[in-house]
Structures are given as structure tokens and as C-alpha cells.
Amino acid sequence: MSISIRLKGFLDENQVPYSVMTHTRAYTAQGAAATMQISGKELAKTVVLWTGEEMILAVLPAPNHVRLDKLAAEVRKSVRLATEAEFSSLFPDCEVGAMPPLGSLYNLPVYVDESLAADEAIVFNAGTHRDAIRMRYDDFVRLAKPSICSFARKE
């Protein structure tokens, strides 16, 4: 499996320059960063959360964790992690846990931790546990239209 056809079409349609990085199969963001030989801070992971009756995507550096209390204050609703069973059907073109952080592809709001803005480029899962996309952070923001706030905790 290569990158999601939906993702490739979306990037090409929006004329966004990107590169595909294929790596050894990895099931965690930190593991993927290690196989690509990049810092975990450079790899953005996507976490699916419930806020009231709505799911959202939280995007943050691979080694960090979502501070649910901070994100709840931002969205003004209670926030909890969604289970794989709850969200897997929302991403039919992706392997479970390898969804890209482009919520507009799946009609989901996106919240990005402000620490990702420090890098010129962003790397993220491309729908599989073997493929990632690298693109300019500014292009990502233009496409994802995220709310940018502070909710990541370093571990």
C-alpha cells in the first residue's frame, strides 16, 4: 500500500509540493521517526479525540502527549481520547492509526500544537504505517486550516 489515494489527490489538486518518505513499518510515531532517521519533534502525530458529540484531530510532535485539560479549555468542551473502534470507520482509506492530520479530508476539525510551527517542514503519516508525507508547514496550515493553540506535554 502506498499513500492514500484521497490524500494524494487532495495534495495534487491543491498544487502543494510534497515528498513521500517510505520507511520500515512502524506503529508508533516515535518508531516511525526512528526508522526515517529524523527527530521525533519533526514528526507530527495525529490523535483522534471526542469533544462532546464531535470528533476532532489533535496534531502534535511525536514524543509529546495531549494535555486533555488544556485542549478542553481551548474547545470549551470536555475532551477524551477516541478508541480505535470509534474512529476507524472515519478513515476508510487508511490503516488504523496511520491517518494524516488533514481533517478536511474527513470533515473533522483540526487542532495543532503551536510547537510544530517552529519547523519549516512537517512530516506526518500518509495513511499507512510505512509511508509519510513531508511538506512545508505553511502549506499544511493552508490546507488543514487548523486552530493553533498550546496543548502538548513533553514526555
Query: In this predicted structure, what is the pLDDT of residue 28?
Result: 73
pLDDT per residue of the chain (155 residues) written in tens, 0 to 9: 478 888 999 999 999 999 998 887 777 777 677 677 777 677 899 999 999 889 999 999 988 999 999 999 999 999 999 999 999 899 999 998 889 999 999 999 999 999 998 889 999 999 988 899 999 999 999 999 999 999 999 86
Query: In this predicted structure, what is the pLDDT of residue 41?
Result: 75
In this structure, the chain runs to a length of 155
Helix (H) or strand (E) holding 6: helix 5-13
Query: In this predicted structure, what is the pLDDT of residue 23?
Result: 80
pLDDT, tens digit, 9 for 90 and up, residues 40-62 = 677 899 999 999 889 999 999 98
Query: In this predicted structure, what is the pLDDT of residue 66?
Result: 96
What's the grid cell of residue 128? 499507512
Q: How many CB atoms lie within 10 A of CB 112?
A: 24
Q: Comparing C-alpha atoms, which of 40, 89, 73 is closest to residue 147?
A: 73
Query: In this predicted structure, what is the pLDDT of residue 8?
Result: 92
Which residue is it, cell 474512529?
87
Pairing of strands 54-61, 64-66: unpaired
Which residue is it, cell 490503516?
95
Query: In this predicted structure, what is the pLDDT of residue 26?
Result: 75
- Cα of first residue to Cα of last residue in the chain, in angstroms, is 32
Query: In this predicted structure, what is the pLDDT of residue 119?
Result: 85
Domains and CATH numbers, the chain: 5-154 (3.90.960.10)
φ, ψ for residue 61, nearest 5 deg:
-60, 145
Query: In this predicted structure, what is the pLDDT of residue 40?
Result: 66
For 62-146, list the strands marked E by DSSP: 64-66, 79-81, 110-113, 121-125, 131-136
